[in-house]
Amino acid sequence: METKVRKKTTWNGECSIDSLKIRIPFEEIKNVNSHLKQTVATVLTETGEIISESKRNYQSVKRDGFEVGFSVGSIPGLEKEFLFLGIHSKLLGSNYFDGLTVSGIDQVLSKINSFGIVQIAESSFIDARVVDVDIKRDFIAADWKVQEFLNECEKQWTPSNKFGKGVKPWTSKNGQYTGHQFNDRKASGIGSGAYQKFYQKYISTQEPGNREFFDLHSLNVPRNLWRHEFNLRDAKVLKRYDLNNTLSGIIRTPAQTLNDIQSDLLSKIIKDPVQQIKLN
């Protein structure tokens, strides 16, 4: 089948933001769906007696091949509730490969408000605090070339017994090599401790959890498309790279700054700059 690539897509382009998590003071949220904040009671059927109650502060929406989760909670030391929300590039539909940018953020907010869970004002949305930022770079390369590069990275990797640290090759269900992961996402830290993953993007789009989305938006991609994805876990990591931790600030980060962060993190997993140049 002939692949169809949107003219705007540049596979060997710059780094861009793939996903992140935001928090907004709950007092600023309007039209909250009753299912997002509700009390769940356990009742004895024989007597009707309520034997326990608990708060359910989470609701998710599954639509068009993707999922968005909404939750309400607090942060130790701050005497207020917040709405926590994960946003990602799939909210952009056919513009998925562009990543989260200034030009697409209105589309993201409109999509979120269309779910009927909450209504978020634009001012609250762009001023939201940001954590758990995933940055990605898509590139065209032969599978063998990427595998050779990552095998070299694995050889240079310093073994660790710490939780969430280490390197792991990935294969598909049929045994095909699909990439390498460095460190665990939940334990992502700074420098050599940061979560990074290289994976075969075409194979990823064919997985059951992804295929509906890519088919719906006619996002057929080249078979030799790869992705390097890396994570900036929290405010401490964002500060290290002098990044603004608001939504409006992070989406205005110059592509060159994201490229520089990528280069810095690549240097933590492979020391030979020649090998890095070969991949770049």
| pLDDT reported for residue 178 | 92
Residue type, 90: K
SS3 string, 7-19, reads: CCCCCCCCCEEEE
Residue 212 in this model has a pLDDT that exceeds 80 = yes
What's the Rg (C-alpha) of the chain? 21
Question: Model confidence over 143-186: pLDDT tens digits?
Answer: 999 999 898 888 877 655 565 678 888 888 778 889 999 888 87
Rounded to an integer, the average pLDDT of 191-210 is 87
Q: DSSP string of 39-103?
A: EEEEE-TTT--EEEEEEE-EEEEEETTEEEEEEEEEETTEEEEEEEEEEEGGGGGGGGGG-B-GG
Q: Are 89 and 18 in contact (CB under 8 A)?
A: yes
Share of the chain above pLDDT 90, in %: 54
Terminal C-alpha separation, the chain? 28
